Amino acid sequence: MEKFLLILRNMKKSLLVCLLTVLLAKTILAQDPEKNSEGFRTIFDGVDLSMVDTEGNWVIQEDGSLFLKPREGEKGWKRYHHYVWLKGSYSDFECEFEYKHEKGGNSGFYFRVSDRADPVNSGFEVQIKDSEDLGDDEMGPHDLGGVIKTKGATANSGKPAGQWNKMKVTMKGNHLTVVLNGVTIQDFDLAEAKPEDKALAAEGFITIQDHGIPFWVRNIRVKRL
């Protein structure tokens, strides 16, 4: 009987150690979200908008996506404070997200933005645009996956309007890589290819454009490299 009680006490101690270990691990992850999911930080999880700044009419949907519903009179793309801005600045990073648009849709992913009041001239944009009617040989800097004023995508890997696309943008040093729906469409040294009148900041802000037309985005995640 005494031997049985000793075994039972040891089992309780082991169970308590296991529970404490699990609780400690959860606490560490909660305090340091950078260590979640292979180093990625979830910026938008379908529920919480506290990780972004925006004055645009981005509305959380029941399916967990974030829908841009332009308000009356909201047109064009120069309302920069209406963009979805990630909080904090980033130098080397990997950012991935999913998006979809209607026929003729248009948006953009900006990075290394040094001035939030002027992302067009102080940062770089990967174009997000309905290019369904274009062939691979016609892709220019202002078409889907192109880096505006810099370099067109190497392939037209976008899906038809109304379908979800997945984009991953990686910036390491001066090197830019863009993968769209599993296809690498940009892979080059941005410092060498950039326009002469534009500087490449060592770090900057990340944002997704409000172009004044309906647009959906979800599962925004970023990882510092």
Q: Which residues contact 32 (CB under 8 A, 6 or more apart)?
A: none
Q: Is the dihedral of CA 192, 198, 202, 205 positive or negative?
A: negative
pLDDT digits (tens, 9 = 90+) for 178-188: 999 999 999 99
88 phi/psi in degrees, rounded to 5: 85, 165
Average model confidence (pLDDT) across the chain? 89
Nearest residue to 195 via CA among 151, 139, 155: 151
CA pair distance 24, 147, nearest whole angstrom: 44
pLDDT digits (tens, 9 = 90+) for 195-223: 999 999 999 999 999 999 999 999 999 99
pLDDT digits (tens, 9 = 90+) for 110-145: 999 999 999 999 999 999 999 988 877 779 999 999
List residues bridging with 108 in a β-sheet: 127
Helix (H) or strand (E) holding 27: helix 2-31
Neighbouring C-beta atoms of residue 9, cutoff 10 Å: 10
Q: Which residues contact 89 (CB under 8 A, 6 or more apart)?
A: 203, 204, 205
The distance between the two most distant Cα atoms of the chain, rounded to a whole number of Å, is 85
| pTM across the whole model | 0.84
Q: Which residues contact 112 (CB under 8 A, 6 or more apart)?
A: 90, 123, 124, 171, 200, 201, 203, 204
